[in-house]
Amino acid sequence: MCSALPSNIKQSFYWSKWLTFSASALVMLCAGLSYSFGIWSDAIKKQYNLSQLQVAGIGTAGNVGGYMAIFAGLLYDWLRGMNRVGPVLTLLVGVALHFLGYFGLWWAARGIFQPPYWVLVIIAFFTCNAQTFMETGAMVTSIRNFDTERGTVIGILKSFLGLSGSFFTTIYVSFLEPDATSFLLLLAVVPSAIVLVCTFVINFVPYIQVEPHTKSHAFHLAFTTVIGLASYQAVIALARNSEDFDTWDGVLMTGANIVLLFPILAIPMIFGGLRSRRLRDLSPLVKAEDCPPEMEPFLERQDRETPSAVMSVESTPLQCLRSQEFWLLFVTSAITSGCGLTLLNNLAQMVEALRGSGSTSVFVSVFSITNCLGRLCSGFLPDRMLREQDVPRTVSLIVLSVLALVACFLNAFAQIEWFATAAGVTGFAFGGIQGIVPALASEIFGLRNLATNYSMLQIGPAFCSYLQATYLAGTLYEKARQRHGDHVTCKGTDCFQVVFLINAGLAVVAVVTSVLLWHRTRGLYHKVIEVTKAERAKRGLQGEFEEARSIMKKMGAENKLMHAILAQGRSLIGKLQEAMPSEEGNSPRAVDAMQDLGTFIGEAKRKLEEQAALFKRMDDLPNWRRGLTG
């Protein structure tokens, strides 16, 4: 029987990391509601008679709050040693800020209290800042739980965040439109309740958990859920643009949204249950023949080592700020995110400038869906390329930076006939950057202070959301409008052309910094690739061990059958000996005995050939025993 594996981890109850993963997906679905600003901003504008510039100021405050994750990161890392309490407290702060923020905005929109403009700006900042606590508590915990699949996990969770706005917009369209004020109350209550329920099952599992053999199937099921939701949201957006819906249509749309979430909710039930079970806890249940002595050192190494322990240097926030790698990633992330936000924040005005008014929702849908797909692909594909083809993740960052550059040129010379293509490329590049930066931060700077280090990187997009998407775009748009002599709107392809050409120049800088980051991290990724090769070898040894164990079981069964056949042969020979002396070998009894003996010899020959084939299969597995004892 396998001996108990050594560990200094105190035995305690933990929820399964698959349950944590599913709950984190629901939290992320509630953590991207800053994208719904366009729905409720008009209610605030009319209630307070604000100018468009003042409304843009509230939106910018929300954007900055949504990216200013430093407070959430510091809190999470401060509580990092508390595997259950740390994530819970971080998420509870997010729930409190979210509820109080949207409830305060609802009060303001209803006119129940009349705060000055600067108070509205502060409320918008902290309302959207709540999502950084939700994202940090959910995503960082899941990254720590699945450190060898971090890219895949980030891609899936970031995709749910990308779908957040459209998911709740469907509910608004179904039941509340055009009452945007009531939508604020909905945003205060429903997401807060969902996150509150999920909070208490999110924890870090500090040991090797028993995993299903079909682990990859769980992630495929999550992929299917995301793609199903994204496709459905696209269909709903297109249908909404062409026809009106009644109450029953709304009920069906909302019900379908909820049903499409069932696969992600079913993952913990299918793959391992609700409670986490440590690998060593099953050792008393394993038979001695299923776990030979040479297997124990292998299991001990597996219990105390994870690839993340050797894949990266554990950098403190101060060390990050002193490193060139941090600033290269910071600049790349900031500029490419700013290029995407420029289109996102000015999409309605750009469609109007291209004389495509009335079709804005179609382009919003295209951007949202490709944004989601970009997040999904930037998590899954670089992970797979790194593990299976030894391609550093920084190569994917270079590709996304080039794609952002291409998107800027497409937007600069866009025509309404193919503007959907430009919006799609921009959305994919923007989503891809959001998905790949956390994985890069965890690999280059380590997992220990990931929450704080990643939150510092988020300051870049927050800054560029104002510099590129608000100040630069707003100033140049106003100049173009005055040049056209229109006092309200600007019409023409040149209204945003200079904006995106300047963004293209900045994107060239992002491409250069991403290439420099690839060059500076080659040594690190050489180590990462060596670790992934070792992991592949380990998985191969595990597979060979399972096959060898299966062969040995079959050989044991075949040996028992051979004993039975030999006993039958001895019986047949005895019968033949009894028949031969008295019947001189030519009686029916003797003939029957000879026929039975011939059948026996044929059966024995066949079984011996099967035994030889099994031994040949064992000879084809020369490495498993050496690997287990090495």
Q: Confidence class of residue 388 from pLDDT cuts 50, 70 and 90?
A: confident
Cα–Cα distance measured from residue 340 to residue 320, given in angstroms and rounded to the nearest whole number:
26
Q: Is the CATH number 4.10.220.20 carried by domain 313-520?
A: no
Contact 244, 283 (CB under 8 A): no
Cα–Cα distance measured from residue 442 to residue 315, given in angstroms and rounded to the nearest whole number:
10
- What's the Cα-to-Cα distance from 399 to each of 395, 425, 464, 510, 620, rounded to whole Å? 6, 12, 21, 11, 41
Q: Using the predicted structure, report yes or no on whether residue 459 has a pLDDT greater than 70.
A: yes
Give the pLDDT confidence of 548-600 residue by residue, as tens digits: 566 566 656 656 666 666 666 666 666 656 665 554 545 666 666 666 666 76
CB < 8 Å & 24+ apart, contacts of 245-249 = 245/173, 245/174, 247/174, 247/175, 249/174
Q: Using the predicted structure, report yes or no on whether residue 36 has a pLDDT greater than 60.
A: yes
Residue 157, pLDDT score? 92
- Exposed, middle or buried by CB within 10 Å (0-12, 13-18, 19+), for 619? exposed
Residue 288, both tokens: 């001695």
3-state class (DSSP) for residue 278:
strand
Q: Using the predicted structure, report yes or no on whether residue 214 has a pLDDT greater than 80.
A: no
Give the pLDDT confidence of 259-292 residue by residue, as tens digits: 999 999 888 888 777 776 776 554 444 444 444 4
Q: Confidence class of residue 346 from pLDDT cuts 50, 70 and 90?
A: confident
| Cβ neighbours around 220 below 10 Å, total | 14
Contact 256, 232 (CB under 8 A): yes
Higher pLDDT, 538 or 138: 138
Cα–Cα distance measured from residue 457 to residue 550, given in angstroms and rounded to the nearest whole number:
50
Q: Using the predicted structure, report yes or no on whether residue 246 has a pLDDT greater than 60.
A: yes
Q: Using the predicted structure, report yes or no on whether residue 4 has a pLDDT greater than 50.
A: no
Cα–Cα distance measured from residue 561 to residue 555, given in angstroms and rounded to the nearest whole number:
10
In the chain, helix, strand, coil percent, each to 5? 80, 0, 20
3-state class (DSSP) for residue 485:
coil
Could you say which architecture CATH assigns to the domain 12-278?
Up-down Bundle (1.20)
Give the pLDDT confidence of 501-556 residue by residue, as tens digits: 999 999 999 999 999 999 998 888 887 777 766 666 666 555 555 655 665 666 56
Higher pLDDT, 350 or 122: 122
Cα–Cα distance measured from residue 162 to residue 178, given in angstroms and rounded to the nearest whole number:
23
Cα–Cα distance measured from residue 235 to residue 223, given in angstroms and rounded to the nearest whole number:
18
The DSSP result for 317-343, as a single string, is HHHHHH-HHHHHHHHHHHHHHHHHHHH
Q: Confidence class of residue 185 from pLDDT cuts 50, 70 and 90?
A: very high
Q: Using the predicted structure, report yes or no on whether residue 5 has a pLDDT greater than 90.
A: no
Cα–Cα distance measured from residue 574 to residue 561, given in angstroms and rounded to the nearest whole number:
20
DSSP character at residue 147: G
Task: Calculate the average pLDDT of the chain.
Answer: 79
Choice among 157-161, 504-508, 610-614 with the minimum mean pLDDT: 610-614
Q: Using the predicted structure, report yes or no on whether residue 294 has a pLDDT greater than 80.
A: no
Ranges of H-type helices in 35-116: 37-48, 52-67, 70-78, 85-110
Residue 579, pLDDT score? 60
Q: Using the predicted structure, report yes or no on whether residue 390 has a pLDDT greater than 60.
A: yes
Contact 433, 524 (CB under 8 A): no
Contact 188, 99 (CB under 8 A): yes
User: Of all residues in the chain, what percent carry a pLDDT higher than 70?
Assistant: 72
Q: Using the predicted structure, report yes or no on whether residue 409 has a pLDDT greater than 90.
A: yes
Q: What is the dihedral of CA 239, 243, 244, 249, to 10 degrees?
A: -40
Peptide bond into 115 cis (omega under 30): no
Residue 488, both tokens: 């309200």
Q: Using the predicted structure, report yes or no on whether residue 399 has a pLDDT greater than 90.
A: yes
Adjacent-strand bridge partners of 209: 278
Adjacent-strand bridge partners of 403: none
CB < 8 Å & 24+ apart, contacts of 296-299 = 296/2, 296/3, 297/628, 297/629, 298/541, 298/627, 298/628, 299/2, 299/5
Adjacent-strand bridge partners of 278: 209
Residue 290, pLDDT score? 44
Mean pLDDT computed over 598-611: 68
Q: Confidence class of residue 178 from pLDDT cuts 50, 70 and 90?
A: confident
Residue 227 carries which side chain, given as an amino acid letter? Answer: I
Q: Confidence class of residue 306 from pLDDT cuts 50, 70 and 90?
A: very low
Mean pLDDT computed over 175-187: 88
Residue 293, pLDDT score? 44
Cα–Cα distance measured from residue 111 to residue 567, given in angstroms and rounded to the nearest whole number:
96
Higher pLDDT, 185 or 82: 185
The torsion region of residue 489 among left (phi > 0), alpha (psi -120 to 50) and beta comes to beta
- Give this prediction's pTM: 0.72
